[in-house]
Structure 1
Amino acid sequence: MIRTSLRAGVLAVAALAAAQGAQAQLFGDDQARQAILDLRQRFDQAVTAQNRLVDENAQLRRGMLDLQQQIESLRGELARSRGQEEQLTRDIGELRQKLTAQQTLEERLQKLEAGEAARAADPSAQASAPPQGGEPAAASGGEKQEYDAALAVFRAGDFKGSQTGFANFIKRYPRSTLAPSALFWLGNAQYATRDYKEAITNFRSLLTAAPNHQRAPEAMLSIANCQIELKDTRAARATLDSLVKTYPQSEAAQAGRERLSRLK
């Protein structure tokens, strides 16, 4: 557009110069020369103004490009900031879930240890404990050490490490009196790492191998908890109903009744 205007200006000046040349013949050479000088001065001023407009337009375009780049940079920084905020929110949520799971497991562990201590102090309770058919009467020293080592890893919050320990124990001592307890804590460790399907498998293995074990009610309650986490509400209700019917006097059954009331 600017070049077109410049060309038009040049043509106009040429036309004027031609007209003045014709007039010079009528009014004299001096007047003609002066008129041509005036026209050239006006033409030079017009060219200068045009060039200045071209430069200003170029500067304006560069400024707009710089501004656009700054806007895009700010948008990128804002997107990264939002992404970091979302990731932080997810990390906080996962941390809260892990803390909640760990607290729940610690509470279970404390209750179970308190029950074991009470039974150990009451000989009649030990005498009335249901036998585990086909299992040795007591665990050997080596078995107990390996079991305690895996349980210590679990208590330290290393749930992945405790899974390895309990799984190895069960593989080496499948008929040990501690095998059902190892299955129980293996399932709890898997629950803590949100491996709910494998946790259900091990809790069910405990119920199949030792349905009268002291931890059987807790194992069934844990199955229901896993099913709730998996959004399988129908299966969770069925498991809780079975828990209440099979172990009606247990603390786990009481907790199961409460969960059933919330699921309905």
Structure 2
Amino acid sequence: MGKVVRLLPLTALLLLSLSSPVRAGLFEDDEARKAILDLRNRLTELENAYKGRSEQLSDQLTTAQRAGLDLAGQIEGLKSEIAKLRGQNEQLARDLAETQRKLTDLQQGLDARLRPLEPQKVSVDGKEFLADPDERRQFEAAMAQIRRGEFAEAVAGFNAFLKRYPSGGYVDAARFWLGNAQYGKRDYKDAIATFRGFVAASPEHPRAAEALLALANCQIELKDNKGARRSLEEVLKSYPGSEAARAAKERIAALR
């Protein structure tokens, strides 16, 4: 529009100069008309160019405004999506923490349930070993029957125990106390066989001398004094410094 403004005075000047009587003779009428037409055409071209450029700029501005609005909408959409994702992440974090807590509780509960099933360290007659909880309960149940004088039940209990756990750490103790339960039940022959098997299998056991002494007592109950003497003499020979050896001396003297 600035160029148009500058051209307008030029057109007016030309028109004035052509109309002036002083300069009328400088131009022929045809040349003047041609010049005027050229100027008008130029003016029209400039006006059209300006109009076209203005429309182009207007379109570009509209497009830019529309793009700006679209971008603003996208930004708002992204903000909303980010807020949504943030909320989901927070919920996932809470869910994860809750799951971890439940897993810890389950693990602790499982450990608590499994702990009674795990082998336990026990000590019997100076011997330490690991025993299954059921093995320990069954042995202690049979021992409790002996303490209560329930010898028949104890015999059944120890026999069942030895059948179920033939090679565990309780085997020697179970054989020894089985012999005692048989003695208490007055099954002297069975007790003799049990004590002999115990001593033969574990001659170094802390109760081996006591088992031989108990074997001799069974023989005495069966009126087998010769066999009892041999058993008592074996106690003196194999375990001379034991409490059983001192008792064996007294019983040998009594057999005379």
TM-score (norm 2): 0.49
Whose RCO is larger (CA < 8 A, sep 6+)?
1
Larger radius of gyration: 2
